[in-house]
């Protein structure tokens, strides 16, 4: 067989292994190794596969991931999340569906210090769902808003998935993280508008929470200062060029650590934060290692170049091709986790998208938004499983029913980004001074 045919066989083999339940990093590494050996021989193929984990681990760019993950877990174990939700409730509880709106805004704030969507979903399953159910909110809305709110961590910096995208396509991590800020805020505001409209139409879903005095509201504000301080430090350091993303992440982690100690975090909380950060970091690194071996195999097989030429030769407007690519991601997201999906598809899809003339920063935000959608798409919507895992009293079917309005809102948001690309590109262009 020629190299291209071996590449196609490898892709089919990988898809079959994933559908059979083999973990993505194991399947990708095994197929990648076998493919490299088949194309360039055992010595060269095995040697190349063996050096990839080390060469990628020592990458300075990759060191930003554990810093961002640690920030989120430190903030949670220091109790800063509860203070954020409490303040959001007091200030926004009076609107229809007030507690759900407060959950979205608090999740937005927490997403700005946490790079992991599953962590955000787990945190607010513990913090927000009990209050919503106690106030008589519909279980579907309570579960759906937490699962959907957790996805905001994929766009709002610091975002682990945006960092992974930057590493795979060799794009600026700083520009991508900055670019995700405004689209993340827009996504959150669309969620808020959806909740208010739903609660207006059907008040039984979630009633307003009133009775807070202005004194109580202002008293809740200082509890949000630690989160705000970290957001300002990370965003301004990267935007103004004072620090690299890794340095900004390290500074943010140090600030959260100091604030956590000031808020009474004990050794057990610090230990849990460090262990959970290490576990999530190892999981992400393992996926990166395995998939990059597979990516190297695809390069030798010539699949990315062949796919790019085929896409460019299609007799269709570029926007229609882009919509077809995004629909492909929706379907793929039903069966794969977000990180694995991006790592496996970007080496083939990205060259084609760039050949069509699209901006790599713009496409990065779009494709990460699609990864965000797959986090709440049945049957493998990871955030939905997280909510059900933390709250087993809420059936998984109820969680999936609850996220459907938010899924439709996300589809509308992607359409907005397609129609108005400046929503994504405006901030990074200002950063570049152009």
Structure tokens at 185: 């805020």
Q: Would the pLDDT of 433 be above 90?
A: no
pTM of the model: 0.83
Q: How far apart are CA 295 and CA 311, in angstroms?
A: 19
Q: Would the pLDDT of 265 be above 90?
A: no
pLDDT digits (tens, 9 = 90+) for 111-137: 887 767 877 888 888 889 999 999 999
The whole-number pLDDT of residue 431 equals 67
The whole-number pLDDT of residue 434 equals 45
The whole-number pLDDT of residue 54 equals 76
CA–CA distances in Å: residue 207 to residues 94, 96, 137, 289: 9, 6, 7, 48
Average the pLDDT over each of 50-64, 77-91, 261-275, 307-321 and give the range with the smallest value. Answer: 50-64
Which has the higher per-residue pLDDT, 236 or 58? 236
Expressed in percent and rounded to 5, the helix, strand and coil fractions of the chain are 80, 0, 20
376 with 63: CB under 8 angstroms?
no
Average pLDDT over all residues of the chain: 85
- For 52-88, letters b (16+ CB in 10 Å) and e give bbeebeeeebbbbbbbbbbbbbbbbbbbbbbbbbbbb
Q: Report the percent of the chain where pLDDT is more than 90.
A: 25
pLDDT band at 56 (very low <50, low <70, confident <90, very high): low
Classify burial at 222, counting beta carbons within 10 Å of its beta carbon; exposed 0-12, middle 13-18, buried 19 or more: exposed
- The backbone torsions φ and ψ at residue 407, rounded to the nearest 5 degrees and listed phi first, read -60, -45
Q: Would the pLDDT of 183 be above 80?
A: yes
Q: How far apart are CA 256 and CA 8, in angstroms?
A: 47
Those residues whose C-beta lies under 8 Å from the C-beta of residue 138, and which sit 6 or more positions away, are 204, 205, 206
Q: Would the pLDDT of 195 be above 90?
A: yes
Read off the pLDDT of each residue in 238-248 and give the average, rounded to a whole number.
79
Closest by CA to 35, choosing from 4, 76, 75, 56, is 4
Structure tokens at 383: 């955030």
Average the pLDDT over each of 58-62, 81-85, 145-149, 253-257 and give the range with the smallest value. Answer: 58-62
Those residues whose C-beta lies under 8 Å from the C-beta of residue 374, and which sit 6 or more positions away, are 329, 330, 332, 333, 334, 336, 337, 338, 341, 380, 381
Structure tokens at 200: 């207006």
- The backbone torsions φ and ψ at residue 245, rounded to the nearest 5 degrees and listed phi first, read -55, -40
Stretch (H or E) spanning 187: helix 173-201
Q: Would the pLDDT of 252 be above 90?
A: no
Query: Within 315-355, where are the H helices?
Result: 318-332, 338-355
Structure tokens at 384: 């939905």
Those residues whose C-beta lies under 8 Å from the C-beta of residue 205, and which sit 6 or more positions away, are 97, 137, 138, 141, 198, 199
Read off the pLDDT of each residue in 152-172 and give the average, rounded to a whole number.
82
Average the pLDDT over each of 216-225, 259-268, 404-413 and give the range with the smallest value. Answer: 259-268
């Amino acid at each position: 067989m020629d190299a291209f045919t071996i590449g196609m066989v490898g892709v089919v083999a990988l898809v079959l292994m994933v559908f059979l339940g083999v973990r993505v990093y194991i399947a990708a590494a095994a197929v990648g190794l076998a493919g490299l050996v088949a194309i360039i021989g055992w010595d060269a193929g095995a040697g190349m596969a063996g050096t990839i984990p080390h060469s990628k681990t020592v990458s300075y760019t990759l060191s930003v991931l554990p810093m961002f993950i640690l920030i989120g877990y430190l903030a949670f174990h220091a109790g800063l999340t509860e203070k954020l939700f409490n303040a959001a409730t007091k200030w926004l509880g009076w609107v229809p569906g007030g507690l759900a709106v407060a959950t979205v805004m608090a999740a937005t704030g927490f997403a700005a210090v946490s790079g992991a969507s599953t962590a955000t979903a787990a945190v607010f399953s513990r913090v927000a769902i009990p209050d919503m159910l106690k106030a008589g909110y519909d279980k579907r809305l309570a579960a759906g808003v937490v699962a959907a709110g957790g996805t905001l961590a994929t766009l709002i910096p610091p975002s682990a998935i945006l960092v992974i995208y930057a590493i795979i396509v060799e794009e600026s991590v700083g520009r991508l993280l900055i670019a995700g800020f405004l689209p993340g805020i827009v996504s959150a505001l669309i969620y808020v508008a959806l909740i208010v409209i739903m609660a207006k139409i059907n008040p039984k879903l979630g009633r307003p929470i009133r009775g807070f005095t202005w004194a109580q509201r202002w008293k809740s504000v200082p509890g949000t200062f630690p989160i705000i301080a970290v957001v300002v430090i990370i965003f301004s350091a990267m935007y103004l060029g004072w620090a690299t993303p890794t340095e900004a992440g390290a500074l943010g982690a140090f600030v959260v650590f100091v604030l956590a100690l000031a808020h009474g975090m004990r050794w057990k909380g610090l230990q849990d934060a460090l262990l959970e950060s290490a576990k999530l970091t190892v999981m992400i690194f393992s996926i990166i290692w395995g998939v990059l071996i597979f990516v190297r195999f695809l390069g030798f097989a010539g699949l990315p170049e062949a796919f790019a030429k085929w896409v460019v030769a299609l007799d269709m407007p570029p926007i229609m091709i882009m919509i077809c690519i995004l629909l492909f991601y929706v379907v793929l997201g039903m069966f794969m986790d977000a990180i694995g999906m991006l790592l496996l598809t970007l080496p083939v899809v990205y060259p084609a998208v760039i050949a069509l003339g699209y901006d790599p920063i713009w496409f990065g935000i779009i494709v990460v938004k699609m990864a965000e959608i797959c986090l709440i798409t049945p049957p493998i919507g990871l955030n939905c499983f997280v909510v059900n895992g933390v709250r087993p009293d809420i059936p998984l079917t109820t969680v999936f029913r609850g996220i459907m309005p938010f899924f439709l809102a996300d589809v509308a948001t992607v359409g907005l980004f397609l129609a108005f690309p400046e929503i994504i590109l405006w901030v990074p262009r200002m950063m570049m001074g152009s």
